[in-house]
Every structure is written in structure tokens, then in C-alpha cells.
Amino acid sequence: MTTAPQTRRRGWIGQTLVYLSLVAASLVVLLPLLVVFLTSLKTSEEVADGGTLSLPGNWLNFDNYATAFSDGQMLTAFGNTAFILLFSITGTVIIGSMTAYAIDRFHFKAKKLVMGLFLIATLVPGVTTQVATFQVVNSFGLFDTRWAPILLYMGTDIVSIYIFLQFIRGIPVSVDEAARLDGANSFTIYRKIILPLLKPAIATVVIIKGITVYNDFYIPFLYMPSQEMGTISTALFRFKGPFGAHWENISAGAILVIVPTLIVFLFLQRYIYNGFAQGATK
């Protein structure tokens, strides 16, 4: 889409302004992050003496990262987060695809009711119900375990069901019927035919669910208060106490948390854009 020749002269100034605005916006985005990155490479004297925008003396000063990792218990946190991610994502994929399969492939009397139940649940923002959800979780004895977040992430995720549903609607029913003629029951059809065909949707759900869970602070904060039960978010949050104003350590922690997301983003850009666009339009 190029500008027509006769508007190019008028468009020249406009184009420059547009580029300027883009560059300015990029700076606004990148500057805070860059500064934190620089700070993470400084020693505490450099942080105290130098200005915020000064460059670190030694660009390979990874001491702060080591401190953040060990004292900040980030290893445990990464482990816990990985555990939670594994089970909640697997659970979400299985449950979401099963729900979509049941809703799309079968006709039963209460179908509208069930769909209504799921739809209404999307209207309820999770933050509001935590006071009562807490009691429910507690009554199961799951408070301060990793299973609380796992179950919560599985049980309150309507977005993934929606994504699977959209996708499964594009799989022709003839596939099911052909399998049924060969004597396959519904479960076999689900396992051997539908699931493999759902791979793109599964990829999408894995990615956005993964990022959402990785970044979540609220639920681990409420349900896993003890020190060993930190996730990435809560472990980083706990930096504030012991590290006080040692910004070089806090910065290192923050960068440690951001880097995995950056890597995932760079490799899976297209999936991420599509996934969040689909997720938001529920």
C-alpha cells in the first residue's frame, strides 16, 4: 500500500512525523527496560554514585544475577512455576478440548444450559470472587499448595474452551462419521482424530495460557504465602523486603523474569499475536 505519486509531496512531512512518533513510542517502551538492564549490571557503588543513565563499568558483571538467583530463591520459584505450568496447561488443554468436543459434536437436551453456564461464567471477573474462592480452596485443604493455583487456572479458563470450540467447528463431522463406521467409539474418535487435528489450537492455548500463568501474581500471592512456595511473580515480589534499595539486585531479578518471555516472544511471535487476539474476543 503506497501513497499515490501526486500526494507524495504532502505525504513527505506526514511520513516523517509518523516515523518520529513511532520512534518516540519505541523509546518510551524501551527506555525503562533498558535502564533496568543497565542497572542490573552495575555494582552497588555504581548505583549509588552514578546517575540512572550511566553505563555499567563492567558489562559482564553477573554478580547481581547470581545473588538474585541464590538469595532470591529464584531457582525454587522457577521450579514451582514450571510445575504449575505443566499441570495447568495440560489440564486446560484436556478439559478445554473435551468440552469443545462434547459441545460441538453431540446434541443433548441440556446443551444450551451448559453453554449458558460457561458463557455467564465469562462475565464474572476472577478478581472479584477470590474472597469466596479462597474459602472453597481452603475447605479442600489446598491452601498453600501448588494444586490451588493449578485447579484455579484450569477451572476458570473459559477462553481456551472458546478457542477449541472455534477450531473444532472447522473440523468436518464426516471425519467423525467415517471413524464411527469403522467401529470407533466417541472416546477413540476424540483421542485419535480430533486431538491430533486440534494441534494448532492446542499450540495457541499452550502459549497464551503459559504466558498468562507465568505472569500471574494475584493467585500465587493469595494462595501460596510460604517462602518455599514462591512462583516467579511472588519470589520477585519478595525481593522488595530483603534487598531494600539495592536496585542492582532487584533489577537483576526483574531481568531474569523478563528474559524467558522475551525469548518466547521472539520465536513465537505470530502465534502470540493470533492467540491473544482470539483470547480477547471471547
Partner 1 sequence: MTETTDLAAAKPPRKTALAPCGAANATRGARGPARRGKLLRRITPWLFLTAPLVLLITFTYVPVANMVYYSFTDWDGVSPDRNYTGIDNYRQIFTRSELFRVFFVSFYYLAASAVQIVVALYFATVLSFNLRFRNLFKGILFFPYLINGVAIGFVFLYFFQDGGTLDSVLSWFGAEPDHAWLGDPTSANTSLAGVSVWRFTGLNFVLFLGAIQSIPGELYEAAQLDGASRWQQFRHIIAPSIKPVLSLSLILAISGSLAVFEIPYIMTGGATGTETFVIQTVKLAFQFNKTGLASAAAVVLLLIILLITWIQRRLVPDEKVDLV
Tell the residue number behind the cell numbers 460441538, with chain if given. Answer: 104
Q: Does 132 bind partner 1 (CB under 8 A)?
A: yes
Tell which one of 5, 9, 13, 170 touches partner 1 (CB under 8 A): 170
* Under rule CB under 8 A, residue 73 binds partner 1: no
Residue 193 near partner 1 by CB under 8 A: yes
Whether 55 contacts 73, CB under 8 Å: no
Q: How far apart are CA 62 and CA 58, in angstroms?
A: 9
Is residue 173 involved in binding partner 1 (CB under 8 A)?
yes
Structural contact between residues 211 and 236, judged by C-beta atoms closer than 8 angstroms: no
The closest of 255, 196, 280 to 62, measured between CA atoms, is 255
Residue 90 interacts with partner 1 (CB under 8 A): yes or no = no
The position carrying cell 485419535 is 192
Report, in Å, the least distance between residue 78 CB and partner 1.
13
Cα 228 to its chain centre, rounded Å, is: 22
User: Applying CB under 8 A, does 273 fall inside the site for partner 1?
Assistant: yes
Of 58, 90, 227, 281, the residue at the interface with partner 1 (CB under 8 A) is: 281
| Of the residues 99, 219, 244, 246, which one makes contact with partner 1 according to CB under 8 A | 99
Q: Is 222 in the site for partner 1 (CB under 8 A)?
A: yes
Smallest separation, CB 146 to partner 1 (Å): 16
Q: Could you say which of 20, 24, 53, 75 contacts partner 1 (CB under 8 A)?
A: 53
Cell numbers at residue 244, please? 531494600
CA–CA dist 72, 275 (Å, integer): 32
